[in-house]
Amino acid sequence: MSEAQIEPGLAGLFTTLNLTLGEEVHLFTTSLDIAVTRMRRQGMADEAIYQTLLRDAQTGGRIFGTFGNTVKRHIYGGIQDAGTIGKEAEFAAAGIAPGGEEKWTTYVTETGPCPDCLTRAGDVLTAEAWDAIGRPGSGWSVCKDACKCELNPVQLKTPDKVVA
């Protein structure tokens, strides 16, 4: 695999992640602004507003907690996407063309597999068919974007299930 194959994809991913995080920061500052405006309108003193916001930040409340979870989700998604870009470059180097048949490997944690993902263990479909019904982490399953299942080209002979 050459770096030249990966870099354009990663640059695009970085740009998208950068824009998305910028939007999230904007949403966060807007929600902070709205919260302060509402508390002032209700007659709260600045010290009480400060204490309320501090408590929200310390407990991961509605304003700061939501922001923190959103940033975590985007970064996790970015890492997954970077992995996908790297894998696709490896497949191309191994002469495996994109768009062929792919096999689902279900990821099993110590609490067991996601019930939705378990129904797909070992299933083989074309890339287009997987796109249509939902790839791992696309949100189709109970485990949503926490899904660690994988789709790989059938040529790789991957297992039906992987235990953590």
Residues near Zn ion (CB under 5 A):
114, 117, 143, 147, 149
Amino acid at 134: G
31/158 with CB nearer Zn ion? 158
Shortest approach of Zn ion to residue 54 CB, angstroms?
38
Shortest approach of Zn ion to residue 14 CB, angstroms?
26
Tell me if 40 sits within 8 A of 49, measured CB to CB: yes
d(C-alpha 159, C-alpha 103), whole Å: 9
Say how many C-beta atoms besides its own lie within 10 A of residue 113's C-beta: 20
Contacts of 22 (CB under 8 A, 6+ apart): none
Shortest approach of Zn ion to residue 162 CB, angstroms?
11
Shortest approach of Zn ion to residue 120 CB, angstroms?
8
d(C-alpha 64, C-alpha 144), whole Å: 23
63/149 with CB nearer Zn ion? 149
